[in-house]
Each structure stands twice: as structure tokens, then as C-alpha cells.
Amino acid sequence: MRRYVIVGNGVAGTSAAEQILAHDSQAKITMFSEEPDPFYYRPRLPELIAGAAELESFTLHGPAWYRDHGIDLHLGEKVTQVDRAARRARTAKGLAAEYDALLLATGAHSFIPPVDGADKKNVFALRSAQDARAIRAAAKEAKSAVLVGGGLLGLEAGHGLIRLGLGVQVVEFFDRLLPRQMDVAGAAKLQGILERMGFSFYLGAKAKQVLGSGQAAGLSLEDGRQLQGGLVLFSAGIRGNIQLAQDMGLKINNGVVVDDRMRTSLAGVWAAGDHIEHQGRLYGIWPAAKEQGEAAGIDMAGGEASYRGTIMSNSLKVAGVDLTSAGDVDADDLLQAAVYQDDEAYRKIVMAEGTIKGCLFLGLTKGVKECLQAMESGVQVGHLASEMKKKDFDFSRLLA
Ligand SMILES: Cc1cc2nc3c(=O)[nH]c(=O)nc-3n(C[C@H](O)[C@H](O)[C@H](O)COP(=O)(O)OP(=O)(O)OC[C@H]3O[C@@H](n4cnc5c(N)ncnc54)[C@H](O)[C@@H]3O)c2cc1C
């Protein structure tokens, strides 16, 4: 009987467990998670802030699922040490499990930039259900909030606060929203839509200090402006949880380095999810962590798997705003693009050498799926470029 230890109960860890079970009927799986809550769909956390959903409604597998599948799940157990020679993982509370195959699926944590006063009460970042509950509790006492970071995740969390009736002031270092997912024209259109919802924006601005004595009362900016707010929410990116990998001496570049089978530099140890680096890329998105977890699980159990990378695709989950951005949106307008725009919508299909390299759909949803498929398969569509500029272009023609 082969013994598997999985550190992390997120999508990478659980997808791996599912594949191990499918490929090894004798598997003995032990899983540890630092969090007390069982596997849930992290992207819906802003709804927990808004009180629009309970955690149970987006819990993907409760403890019973693990029990029924013979997985020994330990919640609230942080693995703090792995003995490479003995092949044994140990938790802070003293639990130990020996393995033949170990998966590090430890994910990531929020990055808090070095801003003075960031350790004050009512300063938050959103990564876990525990964070969401704490933000919701603080929001009940506040009239407005300051959000540092105008990325997708920040805007979704900010929208959770707006739904609670708070005014949300967004401080963004770049001079436009979603700098990684949007070009200038798309970002300007999105900004207008969000302002009408209750967001206000401070672009090209840098956070200096969290105001307030002991408890956050707002934020000062480098340019001298002061924003008032009963809570401050940082959404300034993530950092991989690489401590264990580091302690074990695994090869690390910007993330834990893995090959196409999700193997690390140490025999018997795999890694998958937000903290890994595959072919020089870090992802930080759900579908990538899922595919990596699946590949890891198959390989750990002796099957054939190969991870080839995931196309970066993001959607903004703010009610009333349809936005999908994928691949290279050519923010500097250097490539060929088919653009359609009107007062409500903006659509850009970016092409190079006749294939789709990226796309941006704001206020339009028709054709997203087909466009992503065409992008993934690398099909030649150059001959349709001028027709794609029309609002009602039939995107199924990309796949014909
Ligand atoms: C608010 C929010 C919105 C998001 N929206 C989207 C979206 O719209 N689309 C999208 O694609 N992605 C989105 N993401 C990102 C997505 O959730 C992540 O890419 C995904 O959850 C990564 O999965 P993972 O399994 O690698 O890591 P995680 O989900 O972070 O899970 C890691 C697990 O490891 C545990 N762990 C860590 N260290 C230890 C240790 N030492 N011992 C024991 N356990 C440990 C943690 O407790 C956790 O259970 C969002 C994320 C957030 C926070």
C-alpha cells in the first residue's frame, strides 16, 4: 500500500487526491490543512464579505467527502517540518505522517506592501474565509473603506463592501485599472462603470501610511492626500507559501520549480498550485492549480500525465459588469487587433501571425467561449480579422 501525504486542502491538493484515488485503489492518503474550513471555492469569498452567501454554499467537499473516500483529512494542522531522510511530515501540534509520495499544495498568501501602520487593527487582506469573516465584522462599524490595489481580486472584494453600503476608495499605483488584464481604452470604460456603482479611484497613487492610532482610520498617499476610511484592505498580489519547500532544500526560483509531471528537484516530492513555477511561469489562478494538481496526482500514483501550461484567463465577478480578459491583451497596441466599441461595450481580439493571442470582452459575453477555444487550439483566423470588428460577428466561425 502506497502512502501519500498532501500538504494543502485547496484545489491543487484535492484535485491531486481525486486522481490518486482514480489511479491507485490501495492508496492511503493523509491530507493536512492549516485552515479550519474544508475545501471551498476561494473566488466566491467576496460574497461572504457581502453576506450574500454562506461558506457552506460554496464548500466543494465537506469532511464527509474525505471520510467517504478514505482520506485522512486534518484541518487546522499546519505542517511545519518535513524530514527528507525519514520521509515524514510533522505538524505544529505534533501530528506526524510518513509518505512514499509527498505533494506540497500549499498555495499562497496575500502580499502586504511595506506601508507604515499596516499592522494596525482593521487592516486586512483577503485570502481565506477567516479573512472574509473578519472584514465583514469590521465593515459593519465603518462607513467607508480604502482599498489598496485596483486588480481583479481587489475590485471584487471592494464590491463586497459596496454591497454592504460602504463607499470604497481605490488606490492604484498604475495609471489605469487592471493593468495586467486591460488596455487603456478598456480600463477607462470599466472605471466609468465602477464609479457609477460607488467606487472612487486614485490612480497613479502610492500608499504612504495607514492613519489612526491603534486602529485604521484611513490612508495617506505619497502625494499628501489623505483618505478617510474605517478599514483598509490591501490587495497587492500574492506570494507563494514556499517555506516548507525552502526548508527541504527544493529548487526555488520565483516559485517552487517543477517539471511537466509536477516533480520537484527532490525525488518523492511533487508540488502544484499557486506557489509553483512551471517553465518559468507562475499562475495564481484556479484552473491552473486544478490542472497542476491533477497532473501531480496521476504521476504520484504511477500514471502518465503531462502538464503543458494553462492559458491565463480572468473574469471580473462584479454583478452588472461582464468582463473577461485572456492571454496577451496588447496593452501597448503593438499587435494586430480587431476592436469593437460603443458606449456600453469594448471588445478587442489580439492577433499575431493569424492566430489569436489574447482577447478582452467588456459588456459583451457572446463569443467568449469560442474565442478562448480558438486561442487555445491556435487555429488560423487572420482572414476573419476585419469581420471580427462587427458587433454581431458570429464567433462560432472561428472554430468552423
Ligand atoms: C478572493 C479571491 C478571488 C479569486 N478569484 C479567482 C478567480 O476569479 N479566478 C481564478 O482563476 N482564481 C481566483 N482566485 C485564485 C484562486 O483561488 C487560487 O489560484 C487557487 O485557490 C489556488 O489553489 P491552491 O490549491 O494552489 O492554493 P490554496 O487555495 O491557497 O490552498 C492552499 C492550502 O494549503 C494550506 N496550507 C498552506 N501551507 C500549509 C502548511 N504549511 N501546512 C498545512 N496546510 C497548509 C492552506 O491552508 C490551504 O488550504 C481568487 C483568490 C481569492 C483569494
Q: Which residue has the cell 474605517?
A: 230
Residue 158 three-state SS: helix
Please tell me the least confidently modeled range out of 134-143, 267-276, 309-318. Answer: 309-318
Percent residues over pLDDT 70 in the chain: 100
- Rounded (to 5) percent helix, strand, coil in the chain: 25, 30, 40
**pLDDT for 3:** 98
Provide residues with CB under 6 Å of ligand 1: 7-13, 32-35, 42-43, 45-46, 78-79, 105-108, 126-127, 153, 241, 244, 273-274, 284-287, 289, 317
**pLDDT for 156:** 95
Question: What pTM does this model have?
Answer: 0.93
How does the average pLDDT of the chain come out, rounded?
A: 96
Which residue has its alpha carbon closest to ligand 1 atom 30? 107
Residue 396 three-state SS: helix
Residue 280 three-state SS: coil
44-94 pLDDT tens trace: 999 999 999 999 999 999 999 999 999 999 999 999 999 999 999 999 999
**pLDDT for 314:** 87
Residue 180: band (very low, low, confident or very high) from pLDDT cuts 50, 70, 90: confident
97-128 pLDDT tens trace: 999 999 999 999 999 999 999 999 999 999 99
What is the average pLDDT across 287-298?
98
**pLDDT for 251:** 98
**pLDDT for 344:** 84
Residue 346: band (very low, low, confident or very high) from pLDDT cuts 50, 70, 90: very high
Q: Are 206 and 175 in contact (CB under 8 A)?
A: no
**pLDDT for 203:** 97
Residue 278: band (very low, low, confident or very high) from pLDDT cuts 50, 70, 90: very high
d(CA 361, CA 381): 18
The yes-or-no verdict on residue 317 having pLDDT over 90 is no
Domains of the chain: 3-109+238-300 (3.50.50.60), 123-234 (3.50.50.60), 320-398 (3.30.390.30)
377 CA → ligand 1 middle, Å:
28
